[in-house]
Homo-oligomer: A and B are copies of this chain.
Amino acid sequence: MKKIHELPTPCLVIDLDCFESNLDIMARYTRECGVGLRPHAKTHKCVNIARQQLAKGAIGICVATIAEAEVMLRAGIRGLLITAEMVGEPKVSRLIRVVAEAPETLVVVDDVRNVDELQSAAHAAGIHIRVVIDLDIGQNRTGIPPGEPALRLANRIADAKNLQMEGISAYAGHAAHVVGFNDRRATSRRAVAQAIETRDLLEKNGHEVRVLTGASTGTYNIDSEVDGLTELQSGSYVFMDVEYRRIGAKDSPVYRDFAPSLCVLATVIHRSGDKAIVDAGLKAFSTDRPFGPEPLEASGVHYEFAGDEHGRLVLESPSRNINLGDKMRLIIPHCDPTVNLYDRFFCVRGDIVEDEWPIMERAKGSPYF
């Protein structure tokens, strides 16, 4: 039986007890609310995790890329929603192959030119594609503006014989990480209200809106209260990260609805004075946030990035001894782009390594490009 301290570092370690508890909490919450859960797999990129989410009642899985869709489908995972626009080649051809195999697949659209492109490809392949309108409810990224522009797009889709309009995707990424529950709720409410109005406008004009999908881990218990949201896309709840812990919960300044289940395990490769250098740096953590990782089992220690393969732990008032060769667990700053750096998860219960799950099947020798 392999122990955690025998693992090669740096590596990703899932604490199975915390992880399974996170899955259970979200499954129970959405069941009790009567809202669907189609968790986002861009967080984990892992078929083993998607399978567990489905087993606990998820209605499907969101993916962000065509490669993620292919990996999931190859593993028999169905009910996919592709949350980024499939524009141009080779994306459209790959989408056609996915939909030919899994006709229930949903894909977002936000532009009449893309509608025409998909219609043409679907027609040539003799298949139908189910689409949802990607609505820009304030993130200023992709998406069509709410109201009349969305209605015009819905009309165009209705005219496209090989496309079937299923509903609206209204993801408010700008609301996900607003610090403070009340401010977050206000931001999300303003955003989602536009989706509701657009849904009403579409239905008034004869379009059936079966799907209204949105929400993040930061807003799961905000958006679920909105009458009309049919499903949540939340993904990060399986792992959590330093960023989500900082945004605060309904009843606490630290967001503890879900437990941090994912860490990077690192080795102390240098120890002198008040510093410890670990073998986990820019290549081991995403660096897109203004804060770094945090030690799971030590306080009074501050992490600084110190190069591609190096992190510097400044031992300000360390709560425990930190020695050369020590293995340390570090809570990751931002889960999705950190997972993206690795080939696999090591899954531990206590200090026993129970399992190993490939990320995008790379660790199984099946590169995903």
Q: Which A residues fall within an 8 A CB radius of B? A: 6-9, 11, 42, 64-67, 84-91, 110-111, 113-114, 117, 140-143, 173, 267-272, 275, 277, 279, 282-283, 286-288, 305-310, 312, 324-325, 327, 334, 336-337, 340-341, 343-344, 362-369
Contacts and interface: CB of A to CB of B under 8 A. Distances in A.
A267 B88 contact: yes
A336 B307 CA distance: 10
* This chain's copy number in the assembly: 2
Contact of A305 (B110, B113, B288, B343): B288
29 contacts: A6-B89, A8-B66, A11-B369, A42-B308, A65-B279, A84-B279, A84-B309, A85-B269, A87-B267, A87-B269, A87-B324, A88-B267, A141-B270, A141-B310, A141-B312, A142-B277, A142-B310, A143-B270, A282-B286, A282-B288, A282-B337, A287-B287, A341-B341, A343-B362, A344-B369, A362-B367, A363-B367, A365-B365, A365-B366
Nearest to A145: B272
A369 B363 contact: yes
Contacts of A90: 6-8
A308 B84 CA distance: 11
Contacts of A279: 65, 84
Nearest to A363: B367
B369 A8 contact: yes
A174 to B, nearest CB: 10
A141 B277 contact: yes
A65 B141 contact: no
B325 A308 contact: no
Given A8-B91, A343-B367, A365-B367, 13 more contacts: A65-B279, A65-B309, A87-B268, A87-B269, A88-B269, A111-B270, A140-B275, A141-B277, A141-B312, A142-B270, A143-B270, A173-B307, A343-B369
Nearest to A114: B324
A310 B9 CA distance: 30
Contacts of A364: 367
A344 B368 CA distance: 11
Q: Lowest 4 A-B CB distances belong to which pairs?
A: A365-B365, A88-B325, A287-B288, A142-B270
Nearest to A271: B111
A25 to B, nearest CB: 24
A195 B243 CA distance: 41
B309 A42 contact: yes
A274 to B, nearest CB: 11
A360 to B, nearest CB: 9
Contacts of A337: 282-283, 287, 308
A85 to B, nearest CB: 5
Contact of A308 (B64, B86, B114, B271): B64
Contacts of A306: 140-141
Contacts of A86: 269
Contacts of A270: 85, 87, 110-111, 141-143
Contacts of A308: 42, 64, 336-337, 340
Contacts of A143: 270
B142 A283 contact: no
A185 B234 CA distance: 51
A141 to B, nearest CB: 5
Contacts of A325: 87-88, 113, 117
Contacts of A288: 282, 287, 305
